[in-house]
Each structure stands twice: as structure tokens, then as C-alpha cells.
């Protein structure tokens, strides 16, 4: 099953994708994680990506498309994949459709998450992630703090704040999302494979509860 996670930064895509990955037995692939790995290792791709990500801008389509095309060749995604952070533009979506079609596959489900902007900013500024790239656990100092301050509950590694998780960068990313990524909702709505959900503390629906709703939907529609 091939799933795409859509939604502005801070809507809980990574958290919900992680839960779905565990329940469905297919890998979660985050373009953000891949880019951050390259930035940390200071590869050529990492240096190029950092120029855009540090300013809250999207990495150019051709760079991101090639990244995903190579990832889809790996053995662990032959039975399905959960894409978190890709596609970000209609052009990327069209290219993904072509890549999958060549393999006799398609996008089965697109999950569109929405959250009030005030909550998004509060959530991202207070977001912390595990420094262990194999763990990738996500915390929130307000909603979901670690049991021991600064330490990951799952693996015991240090938790850190991402460099781009600042209010200024978040506002820039939200602006980019509205301009470039929101048209994807209409694109997939027209394909008939869109599932939309609100993730908000105002309605008492956060990551785990939304993931359970999605799993129920998948079981009903398989």
C-alpha cells in the first residue's frame, strides 16, 4: 500500500505516519529526515539542501524527485511506503504517479491533515526530536514531553530541537505550504483517494486518535 501524508508543518504527519508504519508493516520515508542526514554529513546534496531549508524554503523539485526515485528502488519498500514530506508540489505528484506507474503501482491513499495555525506554531516551537537517527521519536514539551528532561523515552539518547523549528522559519514554511502544496489537496481529491482529518487539541483529536481513525478507514475500504 502506497500512502502519502499531506499537511502543513506541525500537523502531526511524522507522528501519525510512524503509527501507521508500525501497524501496516511498511516503512515511513521522510524527505526531511533524508535531507537532514545529508546536511549532517555535509554531502553535496546536503550542502545544496541546507541553502533552502535553513531559510524555510522548499528544495527544488528536480533534486527532491531524484531523491525519492532512488529511494523507491530499495527492497524494503516493495510492498508499500508511507511518504512524509513528498510530494510538495503538483509537479512532484505528477512525477510520482509516473514513477509508480512504471512499476505497475499507484498512490492508494492520501491523508490530508489540517491544524489551526496558532496551534501549529506553538507545536513546532515546542517540538523536540530524538538525536538518534535510528529512533526518530518525536516529543512536544507541552503536549508530549519525555519522562526525563532532555532524554528519549525509547532509546535513552539526547533529544534536540531542530535548527529550523523557530517561529520565523515556521511562518515562512506555512506561507510556502499555502502557495505551493495546498493545490495538492485538489489534485488528489480529483483522483478520489483523499482522506482529510483535523488534528487539534481544540476538538481533542491528536496524533494517536487520528491514526486509529485512519486505520479504521483503511480496514473498511480495503
DSSP string over 53-114: HTTTPPPPHHHHHHHHHHHTTSGGGTT-EEEES---SHHHHHHHHHHHHHTT----EEEEEE
The verdict on whether 13 is a catalytic residue reads yes
The verdict on whether 127 is a catalytic residue reads yes
Q: Which entry of 36, 88, 123, 128 is annotated as an active-site residue?
A: 88
Q: Which entry of 13, 36, 123, 128 is annotated as an active-site residue?
A: 13
Q: Which entry of 162, 171, 201, 205 is annotated as an active-site residue?
A: 162
The verdict on whether 71 is a catalytic residue reads no
At how many degrees (to 10) do helices 61-71 and 44-53 cross?
A: 130
Determine contact, residues 125/165, Cβ cutoff 8 Å.
yes
The verdict on whether 162 is a catalytic residue reads yes
Q: Which entry of 36, 123, 127, 128 is annotated as an active-site residue?
A: 127
Catalytic residues: 13, 88, 127, 162, 173
Amino acid at each position: 500500500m502506497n500512502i502519502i501524508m499531506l499537511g502543513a508543518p506541525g500537523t502531526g504527519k511524522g507522528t501519525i505516519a510512524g503509527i501507521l508504519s508500525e501497524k501496516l508493516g511498511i516503512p515511513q520515508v521522510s524527505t526531511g529526515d533524508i535531507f537532514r542526514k545529508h546536511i549532517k554529513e555535509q554531502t553535496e546534496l546536503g550542502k545544496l539542501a541546507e541553502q533552502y531549508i535553513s531559510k524555510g524554503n522548499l528544495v527544488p523539485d528536480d533534486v527532491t524527485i531524484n531523491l525519492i526515485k532512488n529511494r523507491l528502488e530499495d527492497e524494503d519498500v516493495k510492498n508499500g511506503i508511507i511518504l512524509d514530506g513528498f510530494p510538495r508540489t503538483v509537479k512532484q505528484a505528477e512525477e510520482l504517479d509516473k514513477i509508480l506507474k512504471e512499476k505497475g503501482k499507484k498512490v492508494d491513499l492520501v491523508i490530508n491533515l489540517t491544524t489551526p495555525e496558532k496551534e501549529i506554531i506553538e507545536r513546532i516551537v515546542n517540538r523536540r526530536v530524538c538525536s538518534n537517527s535510528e529512533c526518530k521519536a518525536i516529543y512536544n514539551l507541552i503536549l508530549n514531553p519525555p519522562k526525563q528532561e532532555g532524554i528519549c523515552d525509547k532509546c535513552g539518547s539526547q533529544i534536540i530541537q531542530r535548527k529550523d523549528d523557530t517561529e520565523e522559519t515556521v511562518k515562512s514554511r506555512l506561507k510556502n505550504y499555502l502557495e505551493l502544496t495546498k493545490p495538492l489537496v485538489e489534485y488528489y481529491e480529483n483522483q478520489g483517494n483523499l482522506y482529510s482529518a483535523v488534528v487539534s487539541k481544540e476538538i481533542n483529536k491528536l496524533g494517536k486518535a487520528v491514526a486509529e481513525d485512519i486505520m479504521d478507514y483503511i480496514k473498511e475500504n480495503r
